[in-house]
Amino acid sequence: MTSQFVLRKAYIDAIDPQGGWWIGYDTALKWGALHVNYREISAPAVRIAKTTFRPRDVTIGAAELSSKGRLRLQGGSVAAAEISLQTPVLEWRLTHRGADVIVTTSEGPQRIPSAGYGEVVTLHRLPWDLGLRELSWGRYMSDRHFVVWIVGTGEHAIAFGVVGNKTSKSASVEARRIRIADTSLSLDRVVSTISQGDAIRDRAWPARTLVGCLASGFSVMQHKAVYASTLHLPDGAEEKGLAIAEHVSFSRGKC
């Protein structure tokens, strides 16, 4: 059954200069005969979770995610080098960086220039079969610099970072300091907490009960936040900005 498991998540986000955030997911789960699509848009003041959407409501391929006109995230196209990662347990691909974003709520549209980020992640194994103990992910963007990191510990350890258009397998996370080759990023303080808790049991997503039963004793503890950050460049210069960072801890149980 595990060999028939594929989870694909398209993700876009944006941060405004004050630390406000908007996040959209479009997730497709295929697990044997089970096929589930889950889409969600969330923001600090509003959380919209829907299990059924009309096809026109969500078009993640065009970096657009909407929820029946209540909240809409739209990102412009971004020309960037092909940046991707493939491991035995997951695939990751950058889709957008520095895109202009339009957030439409009941109060009208708001344009956030050069703030949009997008990626697609595909898992080919169940969460408890990933061979990971911890996983850290995050992204930092400014008008001049771009940083992404994916660092995991365990049987299938991952050490991957992006600085500009260059990728590196020399990436590490210690406390709130991310190091990628000769560049580092410090997460100085939490501006806003996006999510925390057990990602399997605390989220109202379809098939949660089924997965929770199958993964009895298994937890995916997550903490995701917007951070005021300092980018430390190789020439000694520093830049202040905002980052989104996430840390996940996997604990095994009897499945």
pLDDT of 81 higher than 60: no
Task: Return the residue matching tokens 């937890």.
Answer: 219
Q: What is the domain range of residue 8?
A: 2-251
Q: Model confidence at 125, in pLDDT bands (50, 70, 90)?
A: confident
CA atoms 205, 209, 215, 216: torsion sign: positive
Are the beta carbons of 183 and 234 closer than 8 angstroms?
Answer: yes
Per the prediction, the chain carries an average pLDDT of: 80
Residue closest to 173 by CA, chosen among 162, 161, 190: 161
CA atoms 108, 109, 110, 115: torsion sign: positive
How many domains would you assign to the chain? 1
Higher pLDDT, 128 or 162: 162
CA–CA dist 74, 111 (Å, integer) = 9
Higher pLDDT, 104 or 207: 104
Which residues are CB-contacts of 188 (< 8 A; sequence separation ≥ 6)? Answer: 176, 227, 228, 229, 230
Residue closest to 6 by CA, chosen among 30, 34, 37, 26: 30
Q: Model confidence at 108, in pLDDT bands (50, 70, 90)?
A: confident
Q: Give pLDDT, residue 74.
A: 66
Average pLDDT over residues 108-118: 80
DSSP-derived 3-state class of residue 208:
helix
CA–CA dist 80, 60 (Å, integer) = 18
Average pLDDT over residues 107-123: 83
- Provide the residue type at 247 as one letter: H
Q: Give pLDDT, residue 79.
A: 45
pLDDT of 139 higher than 80: yes
Residue closest to 182 by CA, chosen among 233, 128, 115: 233
Are the beta carbons of 149 and 138 closer than 8 angstroms?
Answer: yes
Q: Give pLDDT, residue 91.
A: 94
Residue 254: CA count within 13 A, CB half-sphere: 0
Q: Give pLDDT, residue 54.
A: 37
Task: Return the residue matching tokens 């990023």.
Answer: 185
Over residues 143-195, the pLDDT tens digits come to 899 999 999 999 989 999 999 989 999 999 998 999 999 999 999 999 999 98
Q: Give pLDDT, residue 55.
A: 35
Over residues 7-64, the pLDDT tens digits come to 999 888 888 888 888 888 888 889 888 888 887 778 876 544 443 333 334 444 445 6
Q: Give pLDDT, residue 58.
A: 41
Q: Give pLDDT, residue 254.
A: 46
CA distances from 241 to 11, 116, 142, 188 (A): 21, 14, 7, 10
Residue 154 tokens, joined? 């365990």
Characterize the bridge pairing of strands 84-86 and 71-75: unpaired
Least confident of 32-36, 72-76, 89-93, 153-157: 72-76
Q: Hey, which of 23-32, 66-75, 222-231 has the most confident mean pLDDT?
A: 222-231
